[in-house]
Each structure stands twice: as structure tokens, then as C-alpha cells.
Structure 1
Amino acid sequence: MVLPSYAGEPLPSFRDVAGAASTHEAGAAYTVPLWCTLRLLGGALRRGFAREAMLRHMRVPPARQDDPQWPVPVADLGALLRHLARRMDDELVGLWVRPVPFGSFSSVARQLLHCARLGEALQLALRLYRLIAPGFPLRLRVTQGLARLEMQPQPSDADVTLDAAAVYWTLALARWLVDRPIPVHSAWMHSPAQDSCYRERQPFFEVPTQYGCARTGIAFDAGWLNRPLARSAQSLEPLLAALPAPLMRAGAPPPAAAEQVCSQLQLHGGDGFAGTLQSVARTLGLSPRSLRRRLQEEGCSWHDLKDAMRREQALDWVSRTDLSLAEIGERLGFADVSTFHRAFKRWTGEPPGEFRRQHQGRAAPPPSAPASFRLAAPASSAGHRGH
């Protein structure tokens, strides 16, 4: 299946900011109309949270609290939604018939970063959400070359606002994971008609939408499901710290080339260290020359990153597993055990056998190399101790 091309154009957003000097400034100035924020806050309102207090939290002037078009900064809305989610212990702030415990998204997102490709990550996310909140109605399926992300029919008392929000935020998460503006092919909404308040320059899902449908969903080229992930744990913390604002606009910073390289090395564990610059560049859709240039612009090199990842993994495996030193060296891609011994002594100042005697069972020391990514250790029974 051929992946769609990427022209590098900025994503259209729910409310584009004209004349912004940079993506960062556009994100900082991004707003959502008041009527839309009140729809998202409908569950909290039904559960007794005061409208006036929430409007003050979003810094809406008293004189404009009845103006449906008043622009609410998405950062203010995001801060309020996080506050409510903690208070209610429900990340969907009452929009669904069952709560989704606070912290669920963080736990799910960390698991997604271990996936190789977008389709695998999205299916895992939906399975985990069905475990966390049984019956969660979002589904992903592929038909006739199109991936359909769609909400299933819900109880009559469910808030239809969740339908559009869940699909939109999942699409935004998918775009963040692959760092590409996945184009929407078609969209359909359960809502009976476009709201009279809606005056945005672009449709909600960026394409003309059918209203009054049995369900809410979107379709996009299924080739995107084969796209490798571009993110790693390094970029997850800033996303989590500002949620849900980064999923409501197109201003999230792209991952650095070094981060994407380390993500690939992290993903494949020991096998990744035997990979070549050419194979990693091909996975990332770059030429080896372009990848080298981007790494150089970021002040590092392929050798630096691979050496740093090898060092961290070596310290972890030597101190926390019973793998023989020969097997560790082989897994890390060293030609023989003596080469691994020399590298380990260069990293730590002592041979691996002595390091193991001193640190067995304890967490590995933090790396001094330019990149720090924690890799999963193999089972401690997968080998024998060696010196």
C-alpha cells in the first residue's frame, strides 16, 4: 500500500490565526468560540459545576458571557478541562455515560509509543479504552482503502458533543504520533444540522460534512495506518502537561530528527542497534544524506545517538538482568565480546563484570550521553550470568 505524499503545508485548524509570525504564536493565539466551550462543559454543568465560575476560570469578561462568539483561548479552556477532570475523576468531564478515570490518557499514550506503526497504535488505544471504560464507543475499521474512525450508536442520554470531540481528538492524536497532517477524505455527523452559531472559515473536520447521520465519524486514506511513529517518550511529557489544548489546534512542535532516530532504536530494542543509518532513514522517509544533515543541524550525529542508546541499554542489561555479557554484546551489535568490553569500559571506567558485581539488581546509572530514553529490559531468565 502506497503512503500518501506530504507536501509540508501547515494543518488547517478549527480557527486559523491570520498573520501569525510562527506556528508557536499561532498556537498561543488560538481560540475557540464560547458556544463551543460551553458544549464541551455541558457534562460538568449537568453535574452541578457553576457556569459563572467556569467562565471566570476561562477569563471571559462578565459583559461578554452571553456572547456565543466570544473567543476563548484554547490554553484557558484546556486548563479548565484539566481542573474539572481531576475534580470529577473523569477525563471526559461528564460527556459520556461512564467516567474515564483521570490519568487514563497518560497511561494509554505511554503504551502507544511502543507500537511500530500508526494503525497498531490506534487499535491498541481503542482496546485499552474499552478496558478502562467498558463500552467506549469509538471504533476503527478499514473498507475499500479508507480507514473509518467512527463512534458507535450510544444511549439516548449520551451527549452528542462527545461524538465530534472523541473523533476530532483521536485524529489529532494520530497526526501527532506520525507528525504528518493526515487529510480527511470525508466526514459525517450525528447532529441534525450545522449549528447556527458555527461561523468558522472551515468545517469542523476540514471537509464538507454530512449532518443528520446515524453516527459521527471520518474517513482517511488507509495508507496512513502503515506510517511509522515519529514520537518518543521525550515529546510525550510536554503534550501531557498541556492537554487537551495540543489536540485542539495544529501548533504542536514537530519532533527533532534526533528524537525520531532514538524512537526507532528504542522501538526495536536490541535489534535496532544492528540497524544502519540507511535503514532508519528509509523508515523515516528521508534519504541518509538528509538525515545526517538534520542531525548535524541539531548538534549531534548518528554515531552519537547510537552510542548513547547502546550505553544506556548496556548499563540496564548488565545491572538488571542475567544475560551473559557475550549475549548483551551480540544484542547491542558488537562484533565480539572483547569489543563490547572495551566500549563498556570507555563508558563507565570499569569492565562490565565488575560493574555487574557492584550494581546487580539496582537501577542503572543515568546516561551522560546526549539522549536519554528508557528501553524495556528483557526477562531476567533469558540467559546466564557471565563475567
Structure 2
Amino acid sequence: MRNISLSNYFARAVLENVEKAGISRESLLSSAGIAPDLLAQPDARIPAVQFGRLQTKTILAMRDEFVGYGPQAYLPGTWTNMCHSVIHCTSLGHALARYCRFFQMFEWGFQSELIIDGEFAHLRVKAGNGVEDYGIYGWEMILFNAHRFASWLIRQHLPLQAVNLSYDAPAHVAEYRHLFLGQPIFFNKPHTELVFHRSLAELPLSQNETSLRRFLKHPNLVFLVQQYPQKSWSTEVRLIINKQLTSTPGIEDIAQTLGLHPQTLRRRLAHEGTTFNDIKTQCRRDTALYFLGKSSFTIEQIALRTGFSETSAFTRAFKTWTGVPPQSYRQQLAEN
């Protein structure tokens, strides 16, 4: 999976604050094997290995794991110490609660909290004392690292009910499909948070000190390219639906494909904190959001691609997902 690539937006964002620190952008790009003129090309992409190298070299040069997006530096080694503080926890919820307590020690840094509310768990983050905002890339880093770290701890991509973001959809919104592994994403929300079913907080950790030592050699690259061979049932269902979204097979068809009785599949999805209808809705919503960022597709075409036979039904569904009709959402993307 090392052939994964990223938009050059992320390289520009990593380097945003280096010149204020008296560090040459060109020298960092050169040391990472990235041509400087690649950053000016609007649609250029960068291999994950090179981006991971650039991120690591920038952190070391700036002596800041938050690469200048906070009022003070998270000195190199901060993340390592956090990892050692959680590696012996008994469950994902235990580990995330300790993760939150660790970063709460930095009053000027981002403040995180694990909130269990009814059926759902919220890993909520906000700016520290005296800080209004960290910028879009700052929030992207925090949530990306938290989600990938949680996934690493349990050796599976943690399925999310929502990625809630308090800011407007950015110009590179299409990248969020890959950034958060196709999970449902919402903008202009009251809180910035990852939301997952509370039952997943009970999952045992699948890592130990030995695997942690290997992970800490190249944590940035691991987060970018790590794939887990044991997929969750919700992931399996999501993959099948996405391949056949225009016709959207029913749970009986999908259960047969997976070699399960429909009721068995329902139970297994319930254990993961979701349902077939929830996954189908998420697939339709995520696909619609993706294609709305592509100006070559009409609303009618997107409706068909997401399994709706009528544009009016798609419009009604989209308004329930986002609060605005699809044309208004597309206009917001264009304005950003």
C-alpha cells in the first residue's frame, strides 16, 4: 500500500510555518526527495513515503510535532511518551481516556475528552487556553492521528458514525474521503470530534511493547499506509454496497455473498454498533459528497450513482444528511 499518494496541499501545509522558524522549505523538500515546483502544480500528488519523510524531517527541523500550528511546540518525543502511557491499557476506551488525560497536561495545546453519551462515544477536541484556532491543517492532524492511532491499537480501521468538523468544507474536501477512510464527514458542526458506537470502546488492545517499538520507528508512514487484513463486517458490507451502489443490494443478497444467514449478519453488525440501513445511508451520503465536488457530474447523474431512481428523492435525502439541498452544498464547495 506504499503506492498511496496525497494531494500536494498536505506538503504545503506541513511547510506552512518553516520559514517563520528560519528553516528553508527547499532544503526540506530536497531531503525528502520532492521537487519544489511540484508544490505549485494544482493537481500534483506526492507518494506517501515521500510525504511521510517530509513530515518527519520538518518535525525534527522545527523541534515541534505540531509543526508550528500551536502557540508552543510539542517537542519531539511527546507522541512517544503518550504511546508508552497507553500501551498497557486493557481496552480502546481505556486507552483513549488516557490519551485525553495525557494531552490535557498541555494547557496551551489541544484539549481532548472522551464522552460516552447514550449509544455513542465522542472523542472531542478543542483549542487550549488562550487559543482560538489551530487552522484547518492543525485540526486535520489531530483527528487523523487520533483515528489512525485508535485503529492501530485494535488492528482494524475503527468504524465511525461521524467525523464532525466545526469549520467549512475546505477546497481540498475530496481528500477527506481518503483522510478518514471513507467515514461520514460533516462540516460546520458545534464540535470537532470523532463519533463511534460505545460498544467499540470495549474492544481489547491488540498491540504490546514489542509492536510499539516497531511502530515508533516510522509512525507517520504507518498511519498513512497501514492496512489491516481482518476487516470488520461493517467494512465488508460497505465494500459490497459501494461496488453496487446504483442498484444497492439488500441485506439478504449481501449475506449470501458473505456466506451468512441475514439474521447472523444483522447480529454481527449490531455488535459493531451499526445496522445495514446505517451503512447503506453512509455509503450513499459519502458517495454523493464526493461526486458533488466533481463539476462534471450533474445532480441527476449523482442521484443515479447513489442508488436513487428520482432526483427529488435524492434531494430530500441529502437535505436530511446535511441540512441543505445538493446544489447549495456544491455552491458552498465552489465558494471555498
Q: What TM bracket, shorter-length normalisation?
A: 0.5 to 0.7
Which is richer in helix?
2
Q: Say which one has the larger Rg.
A: 1
Residue aligning to 1:147: 121
Task: Give the deviation of 1:150 after TM superposition.
Answer: 2.0
In 2, Cα distance between the equivalents of 1:171 and 1:233? 20
**What is the 5 A alignment of 1:133-282?**
134-153=108-127, 155-156=131-132, 158-195=134-171, 197-200=172-175, 202=177, 204-205=179-180, 206-251=182-227
In 2, Cα distance between the equivalents of 1:201 and 1:166? 14
Task: Say whether the 8 Å CA contact 1:100–1:133 is kept in structure 2.
Answer: no
In 1, Cα distance between the equivalents of 2:13 and 2:216? 23
- 1:15-65 C-alpha deviation (Å, 9 max, x unpaired): xxxxxxxxxxx1x21221111221233233443333322332332335433
Length-normalised TM-score, structure 2: 0.61
In 2, Cα distance between the equivalents of 1:147 and 1:40? 30
In 1, Cα distance between the equivalents of 2:228 and 2:57? 21
Q: CA RMSD in A?
A: 2.4
Unaligned runs of 5+ in 1: 1-25, 255-387
Length-normalised TM-score, structure 1: 0.54
Specify whether residues 133 and 50 from structure 1 end up closer, same or farther in structure 2 by C-alpha distance, changes over 3 A only. Answer: farther
Look up the SS of the partner of 1:78 in the other structure: helix
Sequence identity of aligned pairs in percent?
20
Task: Give the deviation of 1:170 after TM superposition.
Answer: 0.8
In 2, Cα distance between the equivalents of 1:100 and 1:200? 26
Look up the SS of the partner of 1:160 in the other structure: helix
**AA aligned opposite 2:134:** A
Look up the SS of the partner of 2:17 in the other structure: helix
Residue aligning to 2:94: 120
Task: Give the deviation of 1:116 after TM superposition.
Answer: 0.8
**AA aligned opposite 1:129:** F
Task: Give the deviation of 1:91 after TM superposition.
Answer: 1.2
In 2, Cα distance between the equivalents of 1:80 and 1:158? 20
1:82 maps onto 2:48 in alignment: no
Task: Give the deviation of 1:103 after TM superposition.
Answer: 0.6
Task: Say whether the 8 Å CA contact 1:96–1:159 is kept in structure 2.
Answer: no
Look up the SS of the partner of 1:184 in the other structure: coil
**AA aligned opposite 1:202:** R
1:56 maps onto 2:34 in alignment: no
Task: Give the deviation of 1:239 after TM superposition.
Answer: 1.0
**AA aligned opposite 1:75:** V
In 1, Cα distance between the equivalents of 2:215 and 2:151? 13
Specify whether residues 125 and 47 from structure 1 end up closer, same or farther in structure 2 by C-alpha distance, changes over 3 A only. Answer: same
Task: Say whether the 8 Å CA contact 1:99–1:133 is kept in structure 2.
Answer: no
Look up the SS of the partner of 1:72 in the other structure: strand
